[in-house]
Amino acid sequence: MKQLYPFQQNLERHFRLLISLAFVIAIYVSISASSAVASAPLSQLVDDNAGIYIEATDLNSHVKQFLASPLVTRFRQSHVFQSWLKSQDVKNLKQGLKDIESITQQPLLPLLNKIFGKSFGLAIFNNGPKQNPSFLFLTSVKDPANVQSLFENWSEKIEVSLTPASYQNIPYYVASHKTSSSEKSSPQAYYGFLEGTLIASENEKVLQSAIDLYVNQNLKKQPLKNQACIFNLKMYQRAQSVLSQSVAGSVFLNPRIWDEHIQTPKNDVERGVFNWWKKTGGFTVGLHLQNTVALEAVILFDSEAINLPLLDILRIPPEIPNNFSQIPKNALAVVSGQLNVHLLTQKIIDFYADKHPEKWQKIHAVSIGLLAGLDPVTELSKTLGPNFLFYSIPREELSFDAIAFDGLVALELSSPDQETNKASKPQYQIALENVVHYLMNSMITDHNAKLKNDTPPSILRIENHDLYEMRWIEGLGLYQPAYGINGQQIVFASSPELIKEFFTLKSEESLAALPLFQTWKETFFQEENQLCFLNISSIRTFIDENSDFLAKQLAKGQGGDIQKGQQKLSGLKSILESFDGIFFAAGLQKSQVRVIIGLGSLDTTN
């Protein structure tokens, strides 16, 4: 590897600091200038051979909105943030800011606004397996002449020479390390101004490709649709259309540009990844900065007829909704989704039967007997799903011998091939009851056979209600395994009280009525059927109400030191004070896979 010139090392260090400051500004203070959006997308100046393109638009507006959000306000007040302000990292960062201001002789915030004030983009080009990629940086500046003057002053102080050059009658500059007259100049970077757009690259050809696009569109007046820019790339346009309109910035990856870097798969796992890669036409990520900080990632397939096993198992028609109104508002954690149980069962059984045909024949015969004559693969599995649900709530009485929460699992039942007679139970319900009763009776028998003298035996309790039937085991220990069933759902829980609440919960007391959850559902996962949600607000309440118990429990891992347990609990509470919830949502379609992860707070002023 060639040794870097001192200039190059300094330039790279200052460039990294400058980019970092663009992010730091979003944490500390609001950019004071008025919002403005570039008259034309910067992607119109990026060649369509770019392998990655990053762009942020209307940056001032998004930053202002984010800094005014309850999420940032509460985070600034947290113990974690206050401790970070006193750290060595912050001291180093402040010193770096002073270094840049000493060179530019200008306040940092106005400087950043001059360079990043409207929007910016970064394109990365593949130069082959044996060479480093090239970059093209673009930003809409308010005053090109002022920025050029700034660069000239800056380059003089860091011993960089700026040499004028021209391409297509468009002037640009070559920044190079200053050398003695006997030494050959060594170009390091190229930059220029296309009206109000600053472009920069370490590769002259990449810079000139942007100039070509500018000349064709603005001087030769060629139609935009005829230009070979990433803006016209069909997959890029598709990626932009699937992202939410509220994104502050986005990243687009063109897989085909990087195919030469992909090695031949050597095992089944690599072949699976390679299969996904070849079918992927594009990958895009969007960043949300509001009351919620969220990343929205979408894999775009290059065909409408994708045949991938995972998609077939998890993809369900969008008209089948999740019922969040059956989840209590104080739930700590929720996992909800949709699953093609019939297809999943078939794949598992086919694999097992192929490996162990004789064992499967025996298991199959026993299963049909327990299921009242129904075949588990061709008949019963069709009635299971597609919706499934898990949630946990705090236990009323906490014990060091039991988990601090109760849990419930629900699975939707359906009978597509026959109409359910309300006067009698459907056959699949009878089959499921047979299996569950067999398992529960086996648990009771095994437990009672091991009882000591004068210990009450476990018994099976039965309750029948208009909306459901319920069975649970009493006297088994700290838990009371229970299940409830009707023609639409079968539910398993660690307590019969959870079963009762599930079937009788009022909609206004459900998670669906929680304002933060309502907002997120409408904004982020209207069609994303696979969901994981952590109710941080409920978790904080649980910690406050049981702080002494939880501190003692945490102290167990600290040699019984209560003070250390309290410190750990206090640290956890401090982290959770800044936001009210975390979610992870995913949606799968024939043409794309969307994944969204975010955390945020509820704006109580609205």
The reply to whether 160 falls in a domain is: yes
The reply to whether 572 falls in a domain is: no
Of the pLDDT bands very low, low, confident and very high (cuts 50, 70, 90), residue 187 is low
Residues 6+ apart with CB under 8 A from 240: 250, 252, 284
- Choice between 524 and 105, residue whose per-residue pLDDT is larger: 524
pLDDT of residue 38: 39
Q: Would you list the DSSP string of 291-344?
A: SEEEEEEEEEES-S----HHHHHH---TTS---GGGSBTT-SEEEEEE--HHHH
Of the pLDDT bands very low, low, confident and very high (cuts 50, 70, 90), residue 603 is low
pLDDT of residue 218: 93
The reply to whether 551 falls in a domain is: no
The reply to whether 294 falls in a domain is: no
Q: What is the mean pLDDT of residues 67-89?
A: 80
The reply to whether 122 falls in a domain is: yes
Chain mean position to CA 410: 25
Total domain count, the chain: 1
User: Residue 42 gets which letter from DSSP?
Assistant: G
Cα–Cα dist 270/454, whole Å: 60
pLDDT in tens, 563-578: 888 888 888 888 888 8
Across 107-111, 283-287, 300-304, least confident range: 107-111
Cα–Cα dist 391/413, whole Å: 18
pLDDT of residue 445: 92
Q: What is the mean pLDDT of residues 143-147?
A: 84
- Choice between 340 and 60, residue whose per-residue pLDDT is larger: 340
Percent of the chain with pLDDT over 70: 84
pLDDT at residue 496 greater than cutoff 60: yes
The reply to whether 86 falls in a domain is: yes
Amino acid at position 600, single letter: G
pLDDT of residue 237: 94
- Choice between 566 and 559, residue whose per-residue pLDDT is larger: 566
pLDDT in tens, 86-97: 888 888 887 877
pLDDT in tens, 54-65: 998 877 777 777
Cα–Cα dist 134/47, whole Å: 12
Q: What is the pTM of this model?
A: 0.80
The reply to whether 158 falls in a domain is: yes
- Choice between 27 and 477, residue whose per-residue pLDDT is larger: 477
- Choice between 13 and 45, residue whose per-residue pLDDT is larger: 45
pLDDT at residue 200 greater than cutoff 90: yes
pLDDT in tens, 242-287: 888 778 889 999 999 999 888 888 887 888 788 888 889 999 999 9
Residue-range definition of the domain harbouring residue 126: 26-232
The reply to whether 550 falls in a domain is: no
